[in-house]
Amino acid sequence: MIEAFEPNPDTKGDIILSARDLTKRFAGFVAVNGVNLDIERGSIHALIGPNGAGKTTCFNLLTKFLQPSSGTIHFNGRNITDLPSADIARLGVVRSFQISAVFPRMSVAENVRIALQRRRGDSFDFWRAQRVLSDFDDEALRRVDEVGLSEFSHVMAGDLSYGRKRALEIATTLALEPEMMLLDEPMAGMAQEDVTRISALIRTISANRTILMVEHNLSVVADLSDRITVLARGEVLAEGSYDEVSKHPGVVEAYIGASHE
């Protein structure tokens, strides 16, 4: 059960998600240490930092794939710290890989249709009459179009290029109508052509939702992000615009230091 509204007194402005003093200890090791994070509604917020900084652990804490050792997380003013990840997804915080097990032997449109069925709470009703399933077809095609895959709607997902597969994953995530999307390294392993395409897609889908992304490609971060939080050794090292954080001496040092470790 979801608890009653409980505003976080620390947050200011239109903050959709905030974390206070978020900490995760593994045996003998603090991966995330007292992190405070405020994500503004409607923004694209990037979480960056050198390898091992704690970015993925933070994502896992915010989506409750991991339980924090201490600290609190509020979403839309509600304390979600103790909710299981399925409830958090239902509230509208969805991580890109969470539901994006793309079925390679199904077409692009079929993949999106299944994601739409999931949103409605149906199981994979493969045995259902084709007529019933096709209720979702129009919406699936609209979603496929939204991510620029119209001409591939009948292509098997397994035959798509890497970048287009990523676009399909985004479409299946969007089918859940998340208010906030967490993207874990959306550009990982992509050729420049796909980076350009997926960047444009992220900008489009950010129009009416909030995006938090972990991304190593700093030119993408510079291009897309309204605000950036830099983590190093599990702590927030700097926060601000790309210009602000990239000039921060501690940030430069953390990246250079990490490249020598």
Residues near ligand ATP (CB under 6 A): 26, 29, 31, 49, 51-57
What b/e sequence results for 145-161 when a residue is b if at least 16 CB atoms lie within 10 Å of its CB, and e otherwise? ebbbbeebbeeebeebe
- Burial of residue 29 (CB within 10 Å: 0-12, 13-18, 19+) is exposed
Q: CB count, 10 Å around CB of 11?
A: 17
The token pair that represents 42 in the structure block = 């409607």
Minimum distance of ligand ATP from residue 30's CB (angstroms): 8
Least Å distance, CB 47 to ligand ATP, is 8
Q: Which CB, 63 or 172, lies closer to ligand ATP?
A: 63
Q: Which is nearer to ligand ATP, 26 or 97 (CB)?
A: 26
Min dist CB 16 to ligand ATP, Å, is 22
Instruction: Identify which of residues 49 and 186 has a Cβ nearer to ligand ATP in the complex.
Output: 49
How crowded is the C-beta side of 24, counted as CA atoms within 13 Å? 22
Q: Determine whether 31 is exposed, middle or buried from the number of CB atoms within 10 Å of its CB (0-12, 13-18, 19+).
A: buried
* CB of residue 25 to ligand ATP, shortest distance in Å: 9
Would you say 55 or 227 has its CB closer to ligand ATP? 55
Q: Least distance (Å) from ligand ATP to the CB of residue 184?
A: 9
Residue 94 identity:
V
If the CB atoms of residues 73 and 205 are measured against ligand ATP, the closer one turns out to be 73
Give the nearer residue to ligand ATP in terms of CB position, either 38 or 215: 215
DSSP assignment of 206-221 equals: GGGSEEEEE-S-HHHH
Which is nearer to ligand ATP, 201 or 254 (by Cβ)? 254
Task: Report the nearest approach of ligand ATP to the CB of residue 109 (Å).
Answer: 33
What six digits make up the tokens of 74? 């509020």
Say how far apart CA 43 and CA 177 lie, in whole Å.
16
Which two structure tokens, joined as six digits, stand for 31?
């991966």
What's the Cα-to-Cα distance from 135 to each of 107, 144, 227, rounded to whole Å? Answer: 17, 15, 40
Shortest spacing between CB 62 and ligand ATP, in angstroms? 12
Q: Which is nearer to ligand ATP, 31 or 170 (CB)?
A: 31
To the nearest whole angstrom, how small is the minimum distance from the Cβ of residue 28 to ligand ATP? 9
Of 34, 8, 39, 38, which Cα lies nearest the Cα of 21? 34
